[in-house]
Amino acid sequence: MAADNLPGGKNVKVEFEDGIAWVTLNRPEKRNCMSPALNDEMVQVLDALEIDDRCKVLVLTGAGEAFSAGMDLREFFRATDGLPYVQQMRVRRSSATWQWQQLSHFMKPTIAMVNGWCFGGAFTPLISCDLAIAAEEAQFGISEVNWGIIPGGQVTRSLVQAMSVRNAMYYTMTAETFDGKQAAQMGIVNEAVPKAKLRERTTQLAKMLVAKNPHALRACKEAIRSCLSIPFEASGDYLGAKSSQLRLIDDENGRNQGLTQFLDEKSYRPGLGAMRRDKE
């Protein structure tokens, strides 16, 4: 079902299906490279979807043969070089806002579905998503060194979060490309599947998340991201506080349901499936 009351529409397409919001970067003639206009639309689209009940899980992908070829060099860089500093920063702010801040802290699960080319700046939204599935045939590359620049914005930071330092060094310095299978081996994506099965597998994963307690999912993703920057000694206190917070805000009372189904009803066996969700 196409979105009928969301911002955007020209550079970003949104469709809903069984709790999944399919968000498609829609500049196929440019391999979905990210222009200032696309970035502005994505800021608005993500803001709207976060409170839209039709969206339980967000899937980010690209139209045509590419996920995204990175930043639109002409529109994002060349066309803004002569602008006053404040205007340049406003253009850059919308890029950073959706690609890193909004996606990283989105209140619902997010999945990147990498259907084709993924280059340069596209690594930021890819790694900002909670999970990622790639087509085995997809091509990845960090080619900035070839024209005398570094992977800017949050690209380099994203890479060293998702890849080993050795791999980040190698592919940044050589600009060699790699495919979806290699991306999965390096941990940039969770798995790679044949392109013909990409949407089917992504849908399967998304529906698995749709079926789970949304408060618990949000708490889990927030806990993992926060623990990336918290000292080991402090993480215990933080996770204890996060657990207490979850019990307060969970209107499904998932903890008590789980204990009841496991201890009293004997209907749930942890590790062997999901508990029954009884909405309260």
Residues 182 and 165 in one domain: yes
My answer on whether 231 and 147 are in the same domain is no
- Nearest CA to 57 out of 134, 1, 113, 109 is that of 109
Q: Is residue 270 part of a domain?
A: no
Residues 83 and 163 in one domain: yes
pTM over 0.85: yes
- Residue 85 shares a structural domain with residue 139: yes
Largest CA distance in the chain: 69
Q: How confident is the model at residue 72 (pLDDT cuts 50, 70, 90)?
A: confident
DSSP state string for 101-159: IIHHT-SS-EEEEE-SEEEGGGHHHHHHSSEEEEETT-EEE--GGGGT---TTTHHHHH
Q: Do 142 and 97 reside in the same domain of the chain? A: yes
Band the pLDDT of 123: cuts 50, 70, 90: very high
Question: What pLDDT, on a 0 to 100 scale, did the predictor assign at position 76?
Answer: 61
Tell whether 93 and 22 lie within a shared domain.
yes
Tally of CB atoms within 10 A around 115: 25
* Residue 271 included in any domain: no
pLDDT for 53 equals 96
> Is 180:192 a contact under the CB 8 Å cutoff?
yes
| Domain residue limits at 93 | 12-210
Tell me 183's DSSP state. H
pLDDT tens digits, residue range 153-185? 788 888 988 999 999 999 999 999 999 999 999
Give the chain's domain count: 2
277 part of a folded domain: no
Look up residue 254 and give its DSSP letter: H
